[in-house]
Structure 1
């Protein structure tokens, strides 16, 4: 049976090894977390350049990845320092429960954030396009030229002739309606005005 390496070392070195080995393991954990964070950050930057994503969308994603890696590295470091795995699991499940409650509480906001990501990647329309939201194919709704897309709203310049009027539509609503699109900022068709009521003409006097 092979003896452990520590049996061949002097007595005074064994106490140091109990400090050096966990220290080296902790350094490797921190180095691995930093390297993984660096690679993920470069991946997000490449996706941003490829899909032309706005900075407001990639910054929260980078923050989420950074904090996830930091929490995972912290739990591994605490485990190497002798913290009980039961304590770590209890803390993790408590954190996950709080995160799940916060997720459902902010579902409407998060759905708009996710739909903003889909708008920038799937490109159902772009800035300058004319769009119209409809409940069905024969029921017209709000329409206008897309002038801004942020994490929560898509802003339209009213296409019904109201000068200076802007329509802010939640991003999640766009994926729940039929969408009509005019590419490249083409002028939107003008809706026909209702016919003027007929004015009765006075009868000729006898």
Structure 2
């Protein structure tokens, strides 16, 4: 019992923090889902963005718990910078992973096109038209007119010229 009395402030503060973080995570997830529904964005993309944000929230919560329980800030700083350095080196070695994740988040919030749109990719080596089947965190699934499924990296969707085609039959008949 003396241990509980000795650490009562830390226990109460940790409980308050955990309840607050749970409310914040729920609120953020709800807001992202509402935003996705309002902007007609695929629910799967909203879930991915929610996961990214929840990871950041949990890392900040972990740091706060360490501070509450008296871990020295020098030790927290050393641990986080070491982890970030290791992650940074790994991402530098695999920069395309980081750029694809970043592009996926940008595509989620800017939504220049959505699932079902037909787009034209203006690539000098391999130009093509395709319909967007799905947009994932790292890549986008595109279906060509021939029915071929193409996995296209998200970072290339931002780097290459992309135009939305979506030609209806009436417009197509008029232009022919």
> For the residues of structure 1 that align with 2:10 and 2:53, how far apart are their CA atoms?
26
Count residues in correspondence: 169
Match in the other structure for 2:144: 157
Matched, 1:57 2:45: yes
Asked if the contact 1:130–1:185 (Cα under 8 Å) also holds between the matched residues in 2, the reply is no
Asked if the contact 1:129–1:184 (Cα under 8 Å) also holds between the matched residues in 2, the reply is no
Q: Secondary structure at the match of 1:183?
A: coil
Which is helix-richer, 1 or 2? 2
Bigger relative contact order, structure 1 or 2, given CA contacts below 8 A and separation 6+?
A: 2
Match in the other structure for 2:128: 143
Compared CA separation, residues 75 and 170, structure 1 to 2 (3 A) = closer
> For the residues of structure 2 that align with 1:105 and 1:188, how far apart are their CA atoms?
46
Deviation (angstroms), 1:180: 4.0
Match in the other structure for 1:74: 62
Matched, 1:39 2:27: yes
> For the residues of structure 1 that align with 2:98 and 2:106, how far apart are their CA atoms?
12
> For the residues of structure 1 that align with 2:148 and 2:41, how far apart are their CA atoms?
27
The counterpart of 2:153, out of the listed 164, 170, 194, is 170
- What's the RMSD between the two structures over aligned residues? 3.2
Match in the other structure for 2:17: 29
Task: Spell out, residue by residue over 1:53-83, the C-alpha distance to the aligned partner (whole angstroms, 9 max, x if none).
Answer: 2233222322232232223222222222232
Match in the other structure for 1:7: none
Asked if the contact 1:127–1:147 (Cα under 8 Å) also holds between the matched residues in 2, the reply is yes
TM-score, structure 2 normalization = 0.73
Unaligned runs of 5+ in 2: none
Unaligned runs of 5+ in 1: 1-14, 190-206
